[in-house]
Chains A and B, each alone.
Chain A
Amino acid sequence: MTRGNGTGFGIGRRRLLAAAGGATLTGVLAACGSNTGRSGKGSGPALSQWYHQYGEPGTEAAVKRYAAAYDKARVTVQWRPGDYDRQTAAALLTDSGPDVFEADGPKLDQIKGGQVVDVTEQIESVKDDFNQAVLKPKIWQDKIWAVPQTIDTQFLFYRKSMLTAAGVRPPQSVDELVEAARTLTRHHRKDKVKGLFLGNDGGAAVLGGTPLFAAGLSLITEDGKVGFDDPAAARVLGKIRQLYADGSLLLGAPTDWSDPAAFIQGLTAVQWSGLWALPQVKKALGDDFGVLPFPKDGAGGRPTVPVGAYGSAVSARSKHQKEAKAFVKWLWVDGTDKQLDFALSYGFHIPARTSLAKKAKQLQEGPAAEAVRFATDHGYAEPLLWTTPSKNAYQDALNHIIKDGAYPETELKAVVRKVNSELQRAKKK
């Protein structure tokens, strides 16, 4: 009997090590190979479709149902919690990413980097029926890079009884908003109610370009230039600072602006939140609330609400691009029943197609109908040329203006420089 050399009786050390090593390697390789996320049951090629995790119960089951109903490919849905936008951005650099995915964009760099494919042909026949404000940022060099799914919008909720008690009417201009917030805070001081809630940071993050649009300006002009290199921009942002300096803003609430809890609990008389919060507010307050767009500022101003839509895009790394595009068309262009179901049966969104939004019963009366009107008449979406570095520079400036009392003129000048250099970069290729 020999030991340790793999011959003779039993299994030697080396053979055992080799066998164990081989088994481990096989296991690892098998795990890598099987981690494709594709196990659909239909016929045709396998497609992987990614969604971010929606908060509303039932949405996941619904999108899986839509995927299962498609008979020309085996579509597997991946429901991805966590930082979805960053997950997809990273996955698009690899071969294990999705074939079809919803994107908060796609971003200009993703389009220019060839990460998504053109879906113009799929949407062409009905593109005029889509809400033009949300479709526009999906267009680059006359091609459409994603199909908008559903629209979300944000606006002001106000508590009618609190305004009446303080003798304040719903504000129609930014000046009136500043005055109303001040009066409401003063009137309800005993109950420690603040006039206005724009988020725990005083509005820097959520307002974004809204005050600029309210002053009649824009982020990027139609001809691709900076849209806020104008004294009106500094003027309106100075008024937002005034709200903070007056102590009229609710700050440090347990939940942020996207949750209507602060408004429902009576911590604030007016709150900036989203369409998704409407059913919750209605349930809690009945008819004791109204909705308003962000009011206009100055003679050239206009009421404003931001609108945005996740778009369904096809990855350029997909091995089945043709089939993936056909699936996107089937679901988000032709599948009107599914679009209505997705927008209104679980959460509360506006269907991206105007004809469907008009049909939806839930959106035809009361504050919901108002919100749809705001989105149609006053909606603006962030343009494709408003890149992440531009946005970050602008939001940092907004933070400095609102919280530190920095001069809006000086801060905006630095942002204009940054945006100009980003526009130059965008024009390069």
Chain B
Amino acid sequence: MRRFRGPQNRNLWFWAFVGPFAIGLALFTYVPLAWSVYLSFFDAHNTVSPTDFVGLDNYASMLGDQAFLSSLGTFVLFTAFIVPATYVLSLALALMVNRLRFAQAFFRSVFFLPTACSYVVAALIWKLSIFNGVRFGLANTVLGWFGTDQTAWLATSDPPWYWLVIVTVRLWLQAGFYMILFLAGLQRISPRLYEAAAVDGARPGWQTLRHITLPQLRATSVAVVLLLVINAFQAFDEFYNLMSDARGYPPYARPPLVYLYYTALGQEQNLGLGSAGAVILALIIAVATVVQARWFGLGRKED
């Protein structure tokens, strides 16, 4: 008994404090996860306790489903664009603000402020006021001064103007936050490094940025890219508010998570197929994260 309790009842206290949370975690996270994997092998229409075992049929049909594959493709494209775009923009802002001799706090706040705005509000402003497709939308009014015909920004897939709306709203909202991370990283770099480089004849600007600033920011960059990738895969709010209508999303801008939600929890109520899709998506994200972490050398010792 004493062994069970541990010295000074430490084991007992450990479980007293950790136990409720562990039970909660198991009950609300691990059991549903395991149940979802179980469901993925069954024909589970409108039921969570199915009886018809179908093996890998759900996986095969999900991987053969054009709508699911195209939504995956959309998001890979979105991630491939938004991650470098935000990285470059926030780094550029950080470098600019860092160089300012006066009003640095003011500009830091100006660029950081959009972070406080919700995705929903920003998306609605973009959709209803800036990029609506009629004559009184801001973008169309400005273009109208130059004699351009009104453009349906969100309804045109050729050329895909809707990407301009989605990407600009996200850049506006998130660049300030990453700028702060980069600023913190920049302020940690010793000025002596730049002085030594100048003595050695390095030109300020691109040469210093490439050989001193960027290597010194590696740890920050790894964290920023990781956060950006995860955020990009979790993107939902702006897609929902910009692209969806009462009947759903157009096929070219449908996040995979939304597609699975419709399949499993929407009118289709196909919990087996939806679970198979969730397992596939989880595996893809896990593999992508591991590959990217290795690529950027996450956990590698600082040079």
Contact = CB atoms under 8 A, between A and B. Distances in A.
B268 A200 contact: no
B246 A256 contact: yes
Contacts of A119: none
B157 interface: yes
Contact of B46 (A115, A395, A399): A115
Given A115-B46, A251-B156, A252-B154, A258 B269 contact: no
Interface string B235-268: 0000000000111101110000000001001111
A301 B155 CA distance: 29
Contact of B134 (A89, A93, A206, A267): A267
Interface in A396-425: 396, 399-400, 403-405, 414
B263 to A, nearest CB: 8
A109 B264 CA distance: 13
Interface residues of A, number: 43
A286 interface: no
A204 interface: yes
Interface in B145-192: 149-158
Contacts of B128: 254
B277 interface: no
B45 interface: yes
A92 B271 CA distance: 14
B47 interface: yes
Contacts of B251: 396, 399-400
Contacts of A252: 131-134, 137, 151-155
Nearest to B67: A396
Given A86-B266, A192-B135, A403-B158, A113 B46 contact: yes
A403 B157 CA distance: 6
Given A253-B134, A403-B157, A205 B245 contact: yes
B interface bracket (residues with beta carbon within 8 Å of A): 35 or more
Contacts of A399: 250-252
Contacts of B267: 85-86, 89, 107, 388
B11 interface: no
Contacts of B245: 199-201, 205, 256
A89 B247 contact: no
A323 B267 CA distance: 27
B232 interface: no
B293 interface: no
A250 interface: yes
Contacts of B265: 86, 89-90
B66 A414 contact: yes
Contacts of A264: none
Nearest to A189: B149
A251 B266 contact: no
The 3 A-B pairs with the shortest beta carbon distances in the complex, nearest first, are: A252-B133, A251-B152, A113-B46
17 contacts: A86-B265, A89-B46, A89-B265, A109-B269, A112-B45, A113-B45, A113-B47, A201-B245, A252-B155, A254-B134, A262-B134, A388-B266, A389-B268, A392-B262, A395-B247, A395-B248, A403-B252
Interface of A: 85-86, 89-90, 92-93, 107, 109-110, 112-113, 115, 192, 199-202, 204-206, 247, 250-254, 256, 258, 262, 267, 387-389, 392-393, 395-396, 399-400, 403-405, 414
